[in-house]
Each structure stands twice: as structure tokens, then as C-alpha cells.
Amino acid sequence: MGKIAFVFSGQGAQYSGMGRELCAASPAAHRVFDMADSIREGTSALCFEGAQEELNRTVNTQPCVFTADLAAARALEERGITPDCVAGFSLGEIAALAFAGILPDEEAFRLVCRRGELMDKAAAENPGTMVAVMKLTPEKVEELCRGFEKTYPVNYNSPAQTVVATTAENAEAFCEAVKQAGGKAMALAVSGAFHSPFMAQAAQGLAEYMEDAEFSEARLPIYSNYTAKPYEGDYKALVRAQVENPVRWQAIVEDMIADGVDTFIETGVGKTLVNLIKRINGDVAVFKAETPEDIENISGSLKN
């Protein structure tokens, strides 16, 4: 068997009830939710019973998904399932920072809360939207983006899926251009144009917030959204850059596989990353870790 990677879910799959069963079943997961509540009162309640409209607000989504992600990883660890490396999609990278030991859980949670606040503010002051493009290569999507102002490829998800950030005014015409090129476009229900120059203000604010933070050396490789390579050099610069630059998810997965990973476990909410990894490489094993049943399934599969 090759290496195991934990990959931490990002924004978009949040739902009312997330993490509730795992929190009840796993002492390690419960401690993560308790930690979140001690810093941001009501986080658990929002995860377990919050209205979807509230969960979809970036300022709430990020701390809630972070908590569910990290709780799942700690529950796996509690069962003796540990990774050789980690990565996270967008805000999932902050949970990966905590698991890799770069920041204590409490400081990583405070960081993701501030990140959510800054990105929410930037989205309100510099509004934009996002469009998922399917059935076209990343290179073709880049070409189409060059035909529109303030339009950027921002999530390189798989060989046939790239997400684009643009203005609300450009979105309809861009979707039509995708259709004319033989692709399929779908507007996303998001509150901002993330991982693009629309987020420059948030990236600057995060850099200022991190000035006094103490980052430790990673205890295991953590792959950067910005470089698609394991963290090295200035960790804070990588965290800042991630906010206003594309998520290179396909490259991260390919680099992990090249480095010996053959088993991916998506920790946290939903199975978006599981599905993307299957599209990137159908030969690797993929699991989701969200519920107590998921943990049992993974434990049984990896120990057989």
C-alpha cells in the first residue's frame, strides 16, 4: 500500500446537521467542537441546526466547515488512521494547517474566522460571482476568460472542470461563450468571486492579521493551493496568496500521486473532493470521512 492523504473539504457543501453524529460518537471530534464554541459561541449549534441561509454566509460557512473538517480528521486519528500528507481545498487548507501542526487548533480557528470576515467584507465591497465550466480544457477556459474584463479562472478542479470568477454583468455573456465553445456553464450560488483579484483587499487584511502569529514547521507535508507543492519557505505568504489566486486542485492531486499517494480520505463535509479525485485519476482509492459509519468503513478497509 502506498501513502495516505487527508484532504479537507472546502466551502459549498455545508448543510444543517453537519458534524452532529460524529460529535456525539467521537470524543476527539467533540473536543474540536468544544474548542470552536469556546472561541466563537454558537458554532456547534449553527453546524447542527442552523438555517441553510445562515450557513451559506461566508462569515459563518468558513468557521463551521473548518470545525467539521478538523473534527473528522481528529476522529480518524483517534481510530489510529493517520495520513502521510495533507491538503485542503480553499478554506480546507486552514484545517490542514492545524492538522499539520503549523498552528494550534485554536489559532487556526481564529485565523479561519478572520479569513471569513475579510472575504465576506471584500465580496460586499467588490462584488462578483463564479461560474463552473465543464467539458472544456483549462487552456480553453483561460482563452475564453481573456475575452472578458475582470474574468479569471480560479479553481482548476479536474481535467474537465474549471471554475471562473467574474462580474455579475459578465456572467451571462461568458456562459454563452462557453456554450458556443462546446462546453457547459453553471452559475454557482456563492457570495463572492473568490480566489481572484476581487479578493485583494481580503488577502491584505489576512496578511496584516498574521503578522504576529507564530507558525511552526509542518510535522508532515501539506500541499499548497497556490503552488500545488508541499509548503516551504514563507508559510504566511502562501496562506495570503491562496486567498487571491487560483486553487490548483488537479495539480495538487497529481503531485500527491507522483509522490506516492494512492489513498485519499476526504475529511469533513460532503464528497466534492472524492468526486474530483476520481475524475483526475480513477486508479486511486478514495474515501469520505463525515459520519461515524464512514469512519468505521475506512477503518475496516484500511486494516484488512
CB-count burial class (<10 Å; 0-12, 13-18, 19+) for 241: middle
The per-type count for the chain, helices as H runs and strands as E runs, is: 14, 9
- Nearest CA among 29, 100, 21, 114 for reference residue 69: 29
Neighbouring residues of 11: CB distance < 8 A, sequence distance ≥ 6: 58, 61, 62, 65, 90, 91, 190, 194
d(CA 238, CA 263): 25
- Measured CA distances, 78 to 4, 87, 158, 173, 279 (Å): 16, 19, 32, 50, 30
Which residues does residue 185 pair with via DSSP β-bridges, in sequence order? 133
Q: What's the angle, vertex CA 153, arms to CA 159 and CA 285, rounded to 5?
A: 30
User: Do residues 284 and 263 touch, judged by C-beta distance below 8 A?
Assistant: yes
For 303, residues 6+ apart whose C-beta sits below 8 A from its C-beta are none
Which residues carry out catalysis? 90, 195
b or e along 48-74 (b: 16 or more beta carbons within 10 Å of the residue's beta carbon)? bebeeeebbebbbbbbbbbbbbbbbbb
> Chain-centre distance of CA 160, in angstroms?
19
- Report the distance separating Cα 176 and Cα 170, nearest Å: 10
The grid coordinates of residue 47 equal 453546524
